[in-house]
Structure 1
Amino acid sequence: MIEILSPTDVLRAKETGALVAGILQTLKSRCVVGTNLLDIDRWAQAMITEAGAQSCYVDYEPSFGRGPFGHYICTSVNDAVLHGLPYDYSLVDGDLLSLDLAVSHGGVVADSAISFIVGDMRPPESVALIDATERALQAGIAAAGPGVRIGDISHAIGSVLSAAGYLINTEFGGHGVGSTMHQDPHISNTGRPGRGYRLRPGLLLALEPWVMADTATLVTDADGWTLRSVTGGRTAHSEHTIAITDDGAEVLTLPTP
């Protein structure tokens, strides 16, 4: 299903996007050496509940996971890149942590992810991974607009990731959002320009470039959810929800300065 939102629903989406961005930035500020992933999940739950919003993850039970997910946020550490199931682990200096959060508020969903390094260490490989996904995300956003095709966004994202030297997995990528978290169209992180669905004002898209240091192959943890690099190399993931407008695209999940 591809859902085109009314102007009123897009305004609600902006509110949801601001909520998601605020929660992620608060969580990032609290993530220090010694922080436990289960505490991050509890903090996310408290903030979502306080806002009168609903988690998109707790009851999430897709075919590829061992559901329901049962937690409020995805916490992926180091070689984990997607769907990281929170567990009893305390962060150490230099860990690369990705937080992925999707929330529904006022009947509209926003979805965003950030990757950052915990503590004082700055491993060059981790810095490069994060930088590549953030630049690819910006390229995808810049390519989006009315009349643009999905392949144009995929090509913009993939060009940045490939130029940075990373292999690209096409099993998981961006997607439409609206009244539910995952909708059509699928947005691969690489593709051919001029192909695919033509974007229309009122369409919400979650763009999410992610990469692994030295492979494009994923392996699923015994928890049935967490997706890791098959080589154990580090990973990064960046995501924003955008709304297609009459004259371009608006990012709904930007943090407030």
Structure 2
Amino acid sequence: MAQRIEYKTREQMRVMARAGVIVERALAAGRAAAVAGATTADIDAATSSVISDAGATSNFKGYHGFPATACVSVNEEIVHGIPGERVLVEGDVVSIDCGAIVDGWHGDSAVTFIIGEPQSARDVELVEQTRRSLWAGIAALATATRLDEVGAAIEDVADAAGLHPLVGYVGHGIGTEMHQPPDVLNYRTRGRHPRVKPGMCLAIEPMLVLGTEDSRVLDDDWTIVSADGSRGAHWEHSIAVHDDGIWVLTASDGGAQGLAPFGVTPAPL
């Protein structure tokens, strides 16, 4: 039996946009704290300060027992890394994923970047093409009839770059909970997919790797690493679909800059 999708009003989407902009600021603070010699715990502290100072609540901390405000994943750690005493060095590929709740409504977003000088041109391509696949997926959502068009757009970018979507990890609906139906896949699949309708709010989050698409979970029961130790990247935005178009809830410009190369203009809430 299909799970029920939660459809939002424009006013509810506006509250989610407030949460989303706080997440955007938290990620910027985390990125600023991510320098060679800093720890992943330093990144977490920076994101936590922004969220609490804004009067919002972290939706990660305590989620199924997760102990931190942000997931911080380094190199072969693709997603769900627990911040701690790991010291960052030049060339590390770092992903930060965090979220916030405002008046019961959630925001969720992630970025990936390289500390200092990259180790290789391939690392730079990994980060940039994963980011591009995110915006390709968001652009596809603007005109999509069904959600599988988002995954197809993401996979097209990944294939062209020789990258592989991590199997088994997907985007999701978002609203009064951080994770809701429907799943938003990062690759093509057969079958009937949900129709794209006004009122949907979705977190699109491609996770691409340089090597194998397979992964494993570390002993902490959270951190997902590539099975072959190759590096990965993770980008995410939360997006609202409304009667006039789409609006990226976790970008203060609604996604205008990221969507411009795809010829899509976001429609204000």
**Alignment TM-score > 0.5, same fold:** yes
Q: CA deviation at 1:194?
A: 8.8
Give per-residue Cα distances to partners, 1:136-162, cap 9 Å, x unaligned: 111111111376211111111111112
Task: Please tell me the residue identity of whatever aligns with 2:56.
Answer: A
Superimposed CA distance per residue, residues 59-101 of structure 1 (whole angstroms, 9 cap, x where no aligned partner): 111xxxxxx1111100000000110111211110111000001
- Equivalent pairs, count: 251
Give the Å deviation of 1:103.
1.2
Identify the residue that residue 23 of structure 1 maps to in structure 2.
26
Q: Secondary structure at the match of 2:45?
A: helix
Shift of 1:37: 0.8
Counterpart Cα distance in 2 of 1:230 and 1:153: 26
Which residue in 2 is equivalent to 1:171? Answer: 168
Shift of 1:169: 2.8
Distance change (3 Å), C-alpha of 1:237 and 1:147: closer
Aligned mates of 1:124, 1:147 — CA distance in 2: 33
Say yes or no: does 1:76 pair with 2:73.
yes
Deviation at 1:56, TM superposition (A): 1.1
Distance 2:149 2:243 in 1: 18
- The residue aligned with 2:58 is 55
Question: Structure 1 counterpart of 2:232, which letter?
Answer: T
**Could you say which residue in structure 2 is the equivalent of 1:203?**
200
- Counterpart mapping for 1:43-122 below 5 A: 43-61=46-64, 68-121=65-118
One-letter amino acid matched to 2:47: A
Identity %: 36
Aligned mates of 2:190, 2:110 — CA distance in 1 = 25
Give the conservation status (yes or no) of the 8 Å contact 1:75–1:100: yes
Q: How does 1:126-145 map to 2 (within 5 A)?
A: 126-145=123-142
| Larger RCO (alpha carbons 8 Å, 6+ apart) | 1
1:109-154 Cα shifts (integer Å, max 9, x gaps): 1110000001233521211111111111111111113762111111
Match of 1:2 in 2: 5
RMSD: 1.7
Deviates more, 1:146-155 or 1:26-35: 146-155
Gapped runs of 5+ residues in structure 1? 62-67
Query: Does residue 232 of the first structure (1) align with residue 226 of the second (2)?
Result: no
| Secondary structure of 2:165 counterpart | coil
In structure 2, the partner of 1:183 is 180
